[in-house]
Chains A and B, each alone.
Chain A
Amino acid sequence: DIQMTQSPSSLSASVGDRVTITCRASQSINSYLNWYQQKPGKAPKLLIYAASTLQVGVPSRFSGSGSGTDFTLTISSLQPEDFATYFCQQSYNTLEFTFGPGTKVDVK
């Protein structure tokens, strides 16, 4: 099965900061990588699919890049509502989905 890792596991940032989160797959997954945002007590919300395509309604300050095994989620200017935990998920393996362990973004 395909293992997903994320770094860092947590980070502290301030409003207006540029934030970058990295996701790595244990084997090439082409661009079949999706990103989610989760706030406490809520279900995860799809932000980006196919590595770089923004889901409808997601602010343009979010962007994704990468292919193969290494991917990045960037928030260009962190807003108060962006403090949350972010997960990556691979959809390359047609028989199994796997998620990264998450990156928590909190207030510096």
Chain B
Amino acid sequence: DAGVIQSPRHEVTEMGQEVTLRCKPISGHNSLFWYRQTMMRGLELLIYFNNNVPIDDSGMPEDRFSAKMPNASFSTLKIQPSEPRDSAVYFCASRIAGPSGETQYFGPGTRLLVL
């Protein structure tokens, strides 16, 4: 099992540019989570999908952020336009939906730097 796959692993861009982060969840998992991690705020849940449907996007910072899950094996998180304060590590995690006992499995993260 390859685990959760994220790309790119590192992204450096200039303020105002569009950034697209990609995630491939573990095969068979039907819940997908996007997190953001910074030194100041720790891990923050941005959005959660269940069976490709967004269930809770209350953690999305603002309209500049959008996420899609067109099918069970792929999700994107887009930032447009990007700002320096968006610099962080973005993690994607997946799990099998059910009682909250199921463990989330995290990808390696995308380290984003917005100049």
Q: Is chain B a partner of chain A in the same complex?
A: no
